[in-house]
Structure 1
Amino acid sequence: LRSAAEIQSRIQALREDAACAPLGAGQVELIQALLDIRETMHNAISQLRDIAVDLPAISDAVDRLALREKALTERGVDTENLMFEASFGRVSMEYYDGFVFGFRADARPEWPMIASGGRYDALTKRLGEGGEIPAVGGVMRPGLMLELEGANDH
């Protein structure tokens, strides 16, 4: 469904990307350190701020995450025990372009997520031919939720 101009533009973007020098070892290590963060939200923000000293491109995102933590705390969410995983959704939720979330059952760690979702504003802009609509979506697995609720009754 793409026009010839869209295809040509994508080919040009790929050529430009291929012409760029590869990332240096130090940059790769910083990105890996970022993706390895799996910590409580508060501690994760501290680690991200440390990485941002050498990788300033993430500074704005870290600031937004700190504001999100503050907003969650103000609404009664215990962010001291809320887990943050920087690589979460990287493979299985690639159409999301903002904050993503997932809920697991502590009592059943082998289960998939009970619910997951996130922001996907860029998708609405793309599908809306430039008309952007802020969007959040998600999925809940009622069968797992009912099974978990039944297990708690016993």
Structure 2
Amino acid sequence: MAGAGPAIGLRGAREIAERIAALRADAEEGPLCGSQVELIDTLLAVRETCPFALEHLRDLSVDLPGLAQAIERFERRCDALEARGVDTASLGFEASYGRTSMEYYDGFVFGFLAEGRPDLPPVATGGRYDALTRRLGDGKAIPAVGGVIRPGLLLQLGGEA
């Protein structure tokens, strides 16, 4: 790091050195075996209505027991939606949703799409991002949820969303 020039930014030399050490340790880890990759691919391919997604996820949890808590939270969320009159049997679930467009979200994420309009972006998106507040709060965790609604898109759809 000494030959990299003057330090610019908010990270100190210690934090940078720790990050470099973590990256090196990660690089030394062996690759996932084929069966692990296959399980992850199968998990990310889950795209069903909520009841069928829960069933599929429970089946996967036999080989991926670390999913158990997330599946329980998802089931409780579905129960809460049902209690509020939402028909979860018609509500879609996509395990890979948000992986490339909602990077700082670390929990449940959602998106509302205009039915029959795959040409349009989501009408609304959001989710949980507790880890971000913990990181920005210097270790102090604050439960956080947020989202965005695109009013122009709602107007364009004329209330059909």
Q: Same fold (TM over 0.5)?
A: yes
Q: Distance in 2 between matches of 1:134 and 1:45?
A: 25
Q: Measure how far apart 1:107 and its partner are.
A: 3.9
Q: Which moved more, 1:92-101 or 1:70-79?
A: 70-79
Q: Following superposition, which runs of at least 4 residues in structure 1 exceed 3 angstroms of deviation? A: none
1:28 correspondence with 2:28: no
Structure 1-normalised TM-score? 0.93
Q: Which residue of the partner structure matches residue 115 of structure 1?
A: 124
1:77 correspondence with 2:86: yes
**Aligned mate of 1:92, from 85, 97, 101:** 101
Identity %: 61
Q: Distance in 1 between matches of 2:35 and 2:82?
A: 35
Structure 2: any 5+ residue segments left out of the alignment?
1-9
**Aligned mate of 1:147, from 128, 135, 156:** 156
Structure 2-normalised TM-score? 0.89
Q: Distance in 2 between matches of 1:53 and 1:44?
A: 15
Q: Which moved more, 1:11-20 or 1:110-119?
A: 11-20
Deviation readout 1:9-48 (Å, 9 max, x if unpaired)? 1111112211222111000000000000110011001101
Q: Which residue of the partner structure matches residue 45 of structure 1?
A: 54
RMSD of the alignment, in Å? 1.2
Aligned to 1:33, the other structure's residue is in SS state helix
Q: Distance in 2 between matches of 1:58 and 1:18?
A: 25
1:58 correspondence with 2:67: yes
Deviation readout 1:65-123 (Å, 9 max, x if unpaired)? 11111111111111101000000000000110110000011142211100101111111
Q: Distance in 1 between matches of 2:35 and 2:54?
A: 21
- Return the letter of the residue paired with 1:142: P
Q: Distance in 1 between matches of 2:84 and 2:28?
A: 48
Residue correspondence of structure 1 range 118-137 to structure 2 within 5 A = 118-137=127-146
Aligned to 2:88, the other structure's residue is in SS state coil
Structure whose alpha-carbon radius of gyration is higher? 2
